[in-house]
Amino acid sequence: MEKELIRLENVAKAFGNLRVLDEVDLSIYESEFITLLGPSGCGKTTMLRIIGGFEMPDMGRVIFDGKDITNLPPNKRPINTVFQKYSLFSHMNVEENIAFGPKIAGKSDDYIRDKIKYALKLVNLEGYEKHDVTKLSGGQQQRIAIARAVVNEPKVLLLDEPLSALDLKLRRNMRRELVRINKETGITFIFVTHDQEEALSMSDRVVVMNQGYIQQVGTPEDVYNEPENAFVADFIGDSNIIDGVMVRDRLVRIFGREYPCVDEGFPEECPVDVQIRPEDIILDAPQEGAFNGVVTNAVFWGMSYDINVEADGFEWLIQSTTRRTVGERVSLHVAPENIQIMSKPQSEDEEVARNV
């Protein structure tokens, strides 16, 4: 069983009248790669700063390996941070930057040399010891920032949107590198991003946040394929989210028509949110009894088309490898297992927590 390393208990934080975190509970496990994902202002960076000790919660506790560290300063926590701008010392070369932490800790010269060699090998920058950090590329500077953090042997590495300044190709390369480093070192990585692709491609678990609330915690597959509410469904990838009524188990009514699905446990005639991913819709010729509509727009993205179809007064998004023309009449088909049923908010508080 996974060992719990960090637990946030009822953590809340406000800046003036703005409540940034609202009584958050979260467990983080040893050696995992967990991502805090959400739009700007959702509270993810504030949560990261509270874990690191850079912010104090207004209420609640931070438990680390069974001990309350809520009031412990950052330098007393076995945690290191890689910031968005890396914060390398420009007057020091690569090895001096990496050696800074161990020197402050009073480690021996032999120990520091071994750690520098290990860290540079870990980040694939062997032979860069004497390089001027200001002359390195953004990706290389990021690797040095990670190496500098790793030599301090933290139990946890906090990464605050460290890929945002890199170009697309380099970001994708660095995602693979970060996952590799996490697995090789066994350090728990807590990664903050607003980029859904980063979160889905890197994480063991994703924490989806909005307006100070945790909306869902799960594996990338869970949050993509089984979103718990409309905010998660809409924020994670593209979605068609429609008002529906759960007629009974495995049967939902959409736009007055009844369609089989695989969900159970909802009350009969219960209003629900229905999610259908664009890639799960198959287009065909118009047919009796199907969703029939007209293509209103088609955009080619290289490997597929984004196709808009107006049907039953709703603008559907479909992703297909087959080209369609504007004005073409089509029908929409969805397999029952690709119709995802979600509960609607049952109270005003829940509506705020799930606010789209």
Cα separation, 128 vs 141, in Å, equals: 11
DSSP state of 170: H
What are the 10-residue block averages of pLDDT along the chain, 356 residues in total?
Answer: 92 96 97 97 97 97 98 95 83 96 94 95 94 92 92 94 84 92 96 95 97 97 94 94 97 95 96 96 91 96 96 96 96 96 69 46
Q: In 3D, which of 16, 105, 38 has the Cα closest to residue 353? A: 38
Output the six-digit token pair for 212: 């100070």
Nearest-10 Cα torsion for 20, 26, 29, 31: -20
Cα separation, 341 vs 343, in Å, equals: 7
Q: What is the pLDDT of residue 348?
A: 43
Q: Taking the mean position of all CA atoms in its chain, how far away is CA 288? A: 41
Which helix (H) or strand (E) covers residue 115, if one does? helix 109-122
**Which stretches does DSSP call E strand in the chain?**
4-15, 18-29, 33-37, 59-64, 67-68, 79-82, 156-160, 188-193, 205-210, 213-218, 240-248, 251-254, 257-260, 270-276, 282-284, 291-300, 305-311, 314-320, 329-333, 340-343
Q: What is the pLDDT of residues 164-210, one digit of tens each?
A: 878 888 888 889 999 999 999 999 999 999 999 999 999 999 999 99
Contact call for residues 30 and 5 (beta carbons, < 8 A): yes
Give the predicted TM-score (pTM) of the model. 0.88
Round the CA-based radius of gyration of the chain to a whole number and report it.
Answer: 24
Contact call for residues 84 and 45 (beta carbons, < 8 A): no
Q: What is the pLDDT of residue 1?
A: 53
Q: Taking the mean position of all CA atoms in its chain, how far away is CA 206? A: 5
Output the six-digit token pair for 287: 């047919």
Q: Which domains, from first to last, does the chain contain?
A: 4-225 (3.40.50.300), 239-353 (2.40.50.140)
Distances (CA, A) of 82 to 87, 150, 162: 8, 10, 7
Q: What is the pLDDT of residue 346?
A: 62
Q: What is the pLDDT of residue 2?
A: 82
Q: What is the pLDDT of residue 193?
A: 95
